Each structure stands twice: as C-alpha cells, then as structure tokens.
Amino acid sequence: MAIQWYPGHMHKAQKDIRELLPQVDLLIEVLDARIPYSSENPSIAKIRGDKPCIKILSKSDLADPLVTAAWQAHLELQRGVKTFATTTDEPAKIKQLLALCRQMFPAKDAGVKTINAMIVGIPNVGKSTIINTLADRVIAKTGNEPAVTKSQQRINLGSGIVLFDTPGILWPKIENPNSSYRLAVTGAIKSTAMEYDDVGFYAADYLIKAYPELLKERFQLESIPDTELAFLEVAALRRGALSAGGRINLHKICELLINELRAGTVGRISLETPDMVVAEEIIIAEAQAKKAADAAERKRRFKQGSRNPSESELAEQEANNAKRAPRGSRPPKATKPTKSRKSK
C-alpha cells in the first residue's frame, strides 16, 4: 500500500528538525509501542549520529508486553540509546522521564547546566499528551487524530531541561510496504489517505497468524478460518456488518476491526517483532540492490551506445508478442537487432 499523505507542514518540520538537531543535547523520540520500527523516522536516525537518544514506547498498554520487552532490548543495542515504555494514562511514570534525562548527562547534572532536548514522533503517537504531563500544564494541543501539532515551540520544563517540540511527521517515501499498513492500522495516517478494506484485510491476515486466540475470544468463535476473507465474513455475521439483503459489508467489518484494534478492545497486540523486521530489511535490501544493479546496467549500455536489448527485455518482448498474436498462430520470436553494414 502506498501512502499519499505528506502535508506541507511536515516538509517544513523535517527541515526545521535538521537545522535544530545540532544545537540540542538530547533527542527524545516517541514511538508507538505496537510498531516501534515502523513508527521510527529513518531520516532522524540518519542525522542523529551518536547524539544521546531516549526512545519512548508510548501506548504500551495496547501492545503485547513480551514483544515490548523484546523491542526495548533490541533498541538499546544501539549506542547512546535508552528506552522508556509508558502510556498516556500514567502521569507519574511519564514524569520519571525528567530524571532519566538528567542521568544521561551526569556532568551537566552536577553543574546544574541546562539540557536542551528535542522531542519528535509520528502523528497520533501521544507526543502532545506526554509534553503536557511533563510541563504540568496544557501546552500542546491533543487529539485522537494525526497532525494536530503544526508548528515548533520551546518549552521550559524546569529541572534544568528545555524541550523543543516539533510537529508529528511522516516521511515522503516509506520503503517497507508492511510499515505502510502498520501505520494505517494504528491511526498514524488520516482515514482519507487509506482504504479501510485494504488495511482491514492486512490486519485480519496478521491477526489470524499471530493472535488467533484473541480473535476467537473477541468475536466468540470456536475456531479461526484459514483466510482473512473467510474470517471477515464470519466476523461480519457476528457483528451484523451487513448490507441490504443480508449481504456481507466488507468495508463496514474492516472499519470495525481497525477501530477495535486501535482502541485495544481486541487485546494487547503488537504488529511487528524485532525478528520480523530483520527479515523484512533483508528482503528490502536485496530488492534495492537488484534495482540499483539494473539501473547501472542500463546506464552502462547507454554509454556504450548499444541498442541491443538484455535477456530479460527479450523475454518480456516475447511475452508481449504472444499476447498480441492471433489465437492458433505462432508469435514472432524476439531477436536482437543486427548492425547494418556500411555500403562501400
């Protein structure tokens, strides 16, 4: 699924973050505990370098606790990274973040020097609620929809910590197609930029494999069907997601499933694990390497002035000829063009 949602304020925010990051001591990145990898901005990872970073796994009450623990161990393998799992309903625990910030800079703590921190995160991950809790007052606007914060602001949290808030941002191109679906399932993307049916089928397929017992309990099923379509049809009958004439309304049941996943009523569910992501990154790297090799080969042949098609291009040409050939006739075979002889 390709995401077509990158508002202008996100482009500006991305630029502002790049300019501000060298001036701050600490980066605080708010991740969705259900999708720590997919909610991590790759652009931030590239420009962070060795700058200390606290990764907050927000909404951890909605995530599988065992998977969250695995993610914390995995993320803390990175140099200078500490993790902090919390929820927006735990103000006392969120305030422990201030002490963690001071612990990461013992020299500044001893000298009572100001720590400049910048907080970043994707839309609808709970960043604004965390800021309001830390500041003990309403500073950042909150809402149960993405892209509420639209501009940067500077907040004095006390305890010698100054926080720079930034709008929630995605990035122009999401390389991992699974991440696009996961961001849509968790609500990081506006509903107008996604297809509920498409996302619902993805979610159903994953849940059947990863959390079948939770599905059986939530939808009161004795067994789980083998395919996402079969499950959605049974779930629609259970929930009355029907159109006129008693037909299954797939859009309605997909929307219902996604909303219940977001609210946590299906159960504590994580949509990715470290092992899953490592395997996906290998596949993506191989695909990118092949794409780069193909581009390099096209460039090489162009520089040589060769108009001879490659073997893969010949195969594609033969396939196209077969489609166009009349039924019962033999399609012409693709051949490499021969060089014309110069007349003497």
Please measure the distance between the N-terminal and C-terminal CA atoms of the chain and give it in whole angstroms: 59
- pLDDT number for residue 5: 45
Same fold across 10-165 and 177-263: no
CATH architecture, domain 10-165: 3-Layer(aba) Sandwich (3.40)
The number of residues making up the chain comes to 344
The dihedral of CA 40, 45, 47, 49: what is its sign?
positive
Which pLDDT tens digit goes with each residue over 34-51? Answer: 999 999 988 787 778 888
How far apart, in whole angstroms, are the C-alpha atoms of residue 10 and residue 29?
Answer: 16
Angle ∠(184,135,25) on CA atoms, nearest 5: 80
Sole residue written with tokens 């995160």: 121
**Is it the case that residue 112 has pLDDT exceeding 50?**
yes
Interval 298-322 mean pLDDT: 71
Angle made by CA atoms 170, 176, 179, in degrees to the nearest 5 = 60
Would you kindly state where each structural domain of the chain is located, as residue ranges? 10-165, 177-263
Rg of the chain's alpha carbons, rounded to an integer?
26
Using the predicted structure, report yes or no on whether residue 23 has a pLDDT greater than 90: no
Q: Alpha helix locations (H) across 177-327?
A: 177-186, 196-210, 212-219, 228-239, 250-263, 274-304, 311-324
Residues 6+ apart with CB under 8 A from 318: 331, 333, 334
What was the pLDDT predicted at 332?
57
Tell me the fold of 177-263.
Conserved Hypothetical Protein Ylqf; Chain: A; domain 2 (1.10.1580)
**For the chain, what percent of residues have pLDDT higher than 90?**
47
Higher pLDDT, 217 or 326: 217
Cα gap 182→35, rounded to integer Å = 7
Sign, CA torsion 194/197/203/206: negative
- pLDDT tens string 231-265: 999 999 999 999 988 899 999 999 999 999 999 99
Task: Supply 180's token pair.
Answer: 């696009």
Tell which residue, 114, 125, 130, has the closest CA to residue 41: 125
**pLDDT, position 191:** 77
pLDDT at 18: 80
